[in-house]
């Protein structure tokens, strides 16, 4: 399968390394075929650095290449909607970075169009595809902390010096960049929330810098989530039950799961299985689903991508955050 990267920025480089590592580990089904940047020299230096076969100076030129099969979209959130549609119009399958789009309306329309074009589209929210997700689920199902009723999760990085993070036109802000991981963590554990309450602090351009989100479920469960782009945080996720609690180290690529009993004694600790970069799982599942003729991946079905976007729409309405690129076209 010929893999192409659309946008030669920072995460694009990590994905290129992931494909290289997959090849070195014996996976020959995928090849680092193409990269496209808005300017040819950027694509050329990226291709030289990562050993990509072809470099293109425009996204459309790369998408016109008939040998290209699957495109990884690594542009700012503001541009995902138009880039998914562009890929689908050229008959290319898509693995699109989070946040999937800017709002649920864009997500639903992009997915509708891709289905019409017969291409697979899936959201590159890596924590959904990683084995640690199933390991957390199994520990909860085994009743190791009793009945879970409350969780907390936080994800903050000091990244407010990056234009993509702080600019309204690029759909910046904590929620779409890192808050999305806290929401996915909460809903992977508790399922779709019934209510959301949120507030935030903003920068001078009106973009959210620190988000406080409370999710509740009708049966009494709750999640307290924090996301931010001005400070570093421990990135912990804690799930509390009536017989103990479970601590996930780094909800943005879980590294370990520790179980404590109700007397705060550590009873078990499990480390993350050895991984390449952690991005290989989303790539492998996407490839497998394309080979099986599917249009979505089971780890992040389309209805869940749309649901997360709807939840973020609701949260942004409460926080009073909107973007100039909210329209469909
Ligand atoms: N899954 C993860 O762990 C993870 C980690 C980091 C980021 N991300 C996601 O990946 C995406 C990209 O993030 P990043 O940190 O890689 O960003 P970045 O370094 O700023 O790169 C973004 C790329 O988008 C392209 N682009 C197209 N139109 C643009 C515009 N109008 N303004 C700015 N750039 C534009 C640029 O590529 P060319 O000029 O080369 O065409 C740029 O290199 C975001 O959706 C982000 O949320 C995911």
Q: Using one digit for the tens of pLDDT, what is the confidence trace for 277-318?
A: 999 999 999 999 999 999 999 999 999 999 999 999 999 999
Residue ranges lining ligand 1, Cβ < 6 Å: 7-12, 37-38, 42, 74-77, 79, 97-98, 124, 126, 164, 170, 177
Ligand 1: nearest atom to the Cα of 12: 16
Question: Which residue's alpha carbon is at the smallest distance from atom 35 of ligand 1?
Answer: 75
Distances in Å between the Cα of 231 and the Cα atoms of 60, 165, 223, 227 are 38, 13, 21, 10
CA of 225 to the centre of ligand 1 (A): 25
Q: Using one digit for the tens of pLDDT, what is the confidence trace for 6-51?
A: 999 999 999 999 999 999 999 999 999 999 999 999 999 999 999 9
**H/E/C letters for each residue in 211-254?**
EEEEEECCCCCEEEEEEECCCCCCCCEEEEECCEEEEEECCCCC
CA–centroid distance for 276 within its chain: 17
Closest among 170, 157, 123 to 226, alpha carbons compared: 157
Kindly provide the b/e burial profile for residues 159-176, where b requires at least 16 CB atoms within 10 angstroms of the residue's own CB. bbeeebbbbbebbbbbbb
- Domains annotated for the chain, with CATH where assigned, are 2-127+279-303 (3.40.50.720), 131-274 (3.30.360.10)
Closest among 68, 47, 81 to 4, alpha carbons compared: 68
The sheet carrying 237-241 orders its strands as 195-202, 208-216, 222-228, 148-156, 237-241, 244-249, 256-261, 266-271
pLDDT over 80 (residue 327): no
pLDDT-based confidence at residue 325 (cuts at 50, 70, 90): confident
Question: Which residue's alpha carbon is at the smallest distance from atom 9 of ligand 1?
Answer: 97
Q: Using one digit for the tens of pLDDT, what is the confidence trace for 157-214?
A: 999 999 999 999 999 999 999 999 999 999 999 999 999 999 999 999 999 999 999 9
CA 309 – CA 81 distance, rounded (Å): 12
């Amino acid at each position: 399968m010929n893999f192409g990267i659309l946008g030669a920025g920072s995460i694009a480089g990590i994905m290129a390394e992931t494909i290289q590592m997959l090849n070195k580990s014996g996976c020959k089904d995928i090849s680092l075929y193409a990269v496209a940047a808005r300017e040819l020299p950027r694509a050329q230096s990226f291709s030289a650095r990562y050993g990509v076969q072809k470099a293109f100076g425009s996204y459309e030129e790369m998408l016109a290449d008939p040998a290209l099969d699957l495109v990884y979209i690594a542009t700012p959130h503001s541009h995902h909607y138009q880039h998914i549609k562009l890929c689908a119009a050229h008959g290319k399958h898509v693995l699109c970075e989070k946040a999937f789009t800017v709002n649920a309306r864009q997500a639903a329309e992009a997915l509708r169009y891709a289905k019409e074009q017969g291409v697979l589209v899936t959201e590159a929210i890596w924590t959904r595809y990683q084995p640690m997700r199933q390991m957390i689920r199994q520990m909860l199902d085994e009743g190791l902390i009793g009945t879970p009723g409350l969780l907390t999760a936080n994800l903050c990085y000091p990244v407010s010096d990056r234009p993509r993070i702080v600019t309204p036109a690029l759909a910046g802000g904590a929620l779409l960049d890192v808050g999305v991981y806290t929401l996915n963590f909460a809903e992977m554990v508790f399922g779709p929330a019934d209510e959301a309450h949120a507030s935030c602090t903003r920068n001078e351009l009106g973009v959210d810098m620190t988000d406080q989100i409370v999710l509740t479920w009708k049966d009494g469960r709750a999640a307290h989530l924090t996301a931010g782009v001005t400070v570093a945080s421990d990135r912990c996720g804690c799930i509390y039950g009536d017989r103990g609690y479970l601590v996930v180290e780094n909800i943005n690529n879980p590294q370990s799961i520790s179980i404590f009993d109700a007397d705060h004694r550590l009873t078990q600790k499990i480390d993350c299985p050895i991984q390449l970069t952690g991005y290989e799982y989303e790539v492998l599942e996407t490839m497998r689903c394309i080979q099986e003729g599917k249009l979505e991946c089971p780890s992040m079905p389309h209805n869940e991508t749309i649901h997360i976007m709807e939840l973020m729409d609701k949260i942004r309405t409460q926080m009073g955050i909107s973007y100039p690129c909210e329209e469909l076209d």
